[in-house]
Structure 1
C-alpha cells in the first residue's frame, strides 16, 4: 500500500510499504480521512522520539475492508471512526476504567502504523460506527473527544460563564462543548485575530486579543468584576497557563488541556489565587472513560449526526496523502492561518 513514512532522517517520504497483518480480533480500515494533530506537529518540531521509520496519524475514519476470524460486531463495508489509544486493559487504572491513565498503553500513529496510509489495522474494540456523517467530520471526533472529556470533567453548570485561552482546534472544540454543556457564554482569548473570529463563528460571544487589550481587566469588565466560573487553558503556553489562574472567580474552576512545552514558572498572585479564591484546578489528558471508549466518543457521534454539533468550516486545509510533507511545512512555517488540517489517502473521498 501507499503510505507516508517518517524516515531515519526525520523526513516524510511517500512510498510503498507492506500492509500490517490482521489478527483474529482486528479489522483493516481503508482510511478515507486523517487529521493532523497539534501533538504531531510538536513531535516533528522537537524531534521524533519513537522508532523510525514511522507512519503517523491518529485522528482517522474510514471503511472496514477486512475482519479477523473472531470479529463479531463489524462487517466489511461498515463506516467507522477509530480510537487510537491501545490500553492494556489489565493494569490497575484500566480495571478502574481510567484508560487514559493506563501504565502500559500504546498508540496508533506512534507505536504502531498510523493513518497517513491507505489502510491500517486496529482492534475491533477500537472502532465505532459513524452513521451517515462524512468521513471528514468523523476524523475530527478524536480531538473533539479530547475537548468533551475536559468539559465533562471540569464541572460545568448551566448558566456558567467561561473563558477559553487558545482558539486552535482544541480551543474551538472546547467552546462548542462548553455551550452544549450549558455555559451561558464563552469568552475566547488568542493573539491571532483570525482565530478569534473563528471562535466567534463557533459560538464565542466575546473575543479578546491579549496582545491588544488588558486581558484580566477585560474579563473582569465582561463578568461584572467577578471573573469567570470556568477557565479552560487550551493554548499550551506558559503565559496562558499562568493567566488562567487570574481569570477565575472565587470558587471558580480552572481546567488545563494544553500541553506544557517549557517550564511553567508562576508569579505570586496567580498562585495565591488558588488558595485565596479556593479554586478547583484540574488537568485533563486524552479522551476516554468507561465503558471503553467512553461517553465522550459515543455522545459525540450522536450529537454530530443529530446536528447538535456542526463542524462546517473547521477544516481549513486539505491535502492528498502525497502532500503530508507540504501540510507539515505549512503548519511549521506558519505561512498561513489554519485550524484543522486534513489528509485524504483515497482520492476524491471526503
Structure 2
C-alpha cells in the first residue's frame, strides 16, 4: 500500500516526540499490514518519551514507538494463510527467534534474542503498522477497540499475578499504574482473600478501589510495613506483586512477604537496587520471580477469557481517550500520574 500516514516519532535523543507524516510501511511475505483503530500509552513508552537512562541504553531514534493496539488487517503477505484482510486483531509484542534454548523448550516469553515492537522495531503509534503474522492475536468482534488495545499490558498483569496460586491468599500490589490496577482486578477474580494496593497517588488508589482492592494504602501517609503487620496479625502477605520499580518499595515488598511467600517483580528499576538477601529472602525461604512479557499465547487466552466472562472489568482504568494529534497531553497525564490508561485514536 502506497501513501503517507500520521505517526508519533521519537525524533531525537532527548525529551519528547513529534507527530509526522511518514511512509505507510511495506510488508514482506510473512507479514500483515494493520490499520490501527486504537493504541494505548504504556509505561515503557513514557520511559522512551522522557528519555531516561533505560531508554538511552536501549532505543535508537528516529523511529515510530508504541506497542499496544487494536486494528483491522488490510493486507497480508503471500505466505500468510491463517489471517485474512478484515480480521480484527491485536498483537503479541515480543518478537522471538524460535531457535534459542528457551524457544526450543516452549519458553518463548524469555527468548534470549527477544525484540520488542515499538522499542527495537517500528511501532504502532501510527495509522498503520506492519507485523509478523505469527504475532497476531485475533479479537472477538464484540470487544471494543479501546479495551482490545490494552490486552497486551493486561497480559503482564495476568502473568505476574497468576505465576502461582493466589486463591485464598493475601496479595499485595505495590504500584498502581495501569498494569498494577489490572493486577488488582486479576487477583480479585482469581479468588484472593485480600488485595492490598499501595501507591503514592490518591487518584490511582481510588481506581484501585474500583478494581476491587480490599485495602488501599498511600505510602506517603502510612507506613506500609505497619499496615501489613496490622492486617495480617504480624504474619505478612502471601504474595507480593511489585509494579513500582522504586528501590524503597521493592525493599518493603521483600520485608512484608511472609516466610515461604512469593515476590513477583514486573517493574523495571532504572538503577541497581540494594536488598537484604540474607534476612529478607534466604532465611525466610522466599521465592522471587522476575516477569517479562506474557506466556505466548497462554496468557493471551487467559486475558481473553477473563474479559469475555466479565470477571475482570477494565473500563474503570480507561480514563482518557484522545486523538493521536493530542499525544503530548496523554504523555503529560501519564508523567503526572493523573490518569489510568490513555487511549489514542489515529
Residue 226 of structure 1 corresponds to which residue in structure 2? Answer: 235
Residue 173 of structure 1 corresponds to which residue in structure 2? Answer: 182
Residue 272 of structure 1 corresponds to which residue in structure 2? Answer: 279
Residue 3 of structure 1 corresponds to which residue in structure 2? Answer: 7
Deviation at 1:285, TM superposition (A): 1.3
Matched, 1:23 2:28: yes
Report the secondary structure of 1:61's partner residue: strand
Q: Which runs of 4+ in 1 moved over 6 A?
A: none
Matches within 5 A, 1:103-118: 103-118=112-127
Residue 319 of structure 1 corresponds to which residue in structure 2? Answer: 322
Deviation at 1:9, TM superposition (A): 5.5
Matches within 5 A, 1:66-85: 66-85=75-94
Report the secondary structure of 1:16's partner residue: strand
Q: Aligned equivalents of 1:51 and 1:20: distance in 2?
A: 18
C-alpha distance after superposition, 1:278-333 (max 9, x if no partner):
11111111112xxxx2211112112212222211121112221112233223433x
Provide closer, same or farther for how the CA distance between residues 118 and 103 of structure 1 changes in structure 2, counting only shifts above 3 A. Answer: same
Q: Aligned equivalents of 2:334 and 2:25: distance in 1?
A: 29
Matched, 1:86 2:95: yes
Moved more, 299-308 or 235-244: 299-308
Residue 348 of structure 1 corresponds to which residue in structure 2? Answer: none
Asked if 2 retains the 8 angstrom alpha-carbon contact of 1:156 and 1:183, the reply is no
Structure 1 unpaired stretches of 5+: 346-350
Report the secondary structure of 1:186's partner residue: strand
CA RMSD of aligned residues (A): 1.6
Report the secondary structure of 1:250's partner residue: strand
Asked if 2 retains the 8 angstrom alpha-carbon contact of 1:245 and 1:271, the reply is no
Provide closer, same or farther for how the CA distance between residues 329 and 207 of structure 1 changes in structure 2, counting only shifts above 3 A. Answer: closer
Moved more, 251-260 or 44-53: 44-53
Q: How many residues align?
A: 336
Matches within 5 A, 1:197-346: 197-266=206-275, 268=276, 271-288=278-295, 293-332=296-335, 334=336, 337-345=338-346
C-alpha distance after superposition, 1:120-141 (max 9, x if no partner):
1111111111111101101110
C-alpha distance after superposition, 1:224-270 (max 9, x if no partner):
2211111111111001110011111121111111111123123x5x7
Q: 2:159 aligns with which of 145, 149, 154?
A: 149
Deviation at 1:40, TM superposition (A): 1.3
Provide closer, same or farther for how the CA distance between residues 326 and 194 of structure 1 changes in structure 2, counting only shifts above 3 A. Answer: closer
C-alpha distance after superposition, 1:47-100 (max 9, x if no partner):
554232110110111111111112111211111111111101111111112223
Q: Structure 2 length as normaliser, TM-score? A: 0.92
Structure 2 unpaired stretches of 5+: none
Q: Aligned equivalents of 2:250 and 2:116: distance in 1?
A: 27
Moved more, 132-141 or 156-165: 156-165
Report the secondary structure of 1:90's partner residue: coil
Asked if 1 retains the 8 angstrom alpha-carbon contact of 2:210 and 2:316, the reply is no
Deviation at 1:186, TM superposition (A): 0.3
Q: Aligned equivalents of 1:144 and 1:271: distance in 2?
A: 33
Q: Aligned equivalents of 2:60 and 2:172: distance in 1?
A: 39
Q: Aligned equivalents of 2:265 and 2:305: distance in 1?
A: 26
Q: Structure 1 length as normaliser, TM-score? A: 0.91
Q: Aligned equivalents of 1:41 and 1:198: distance in 2?
A: 20
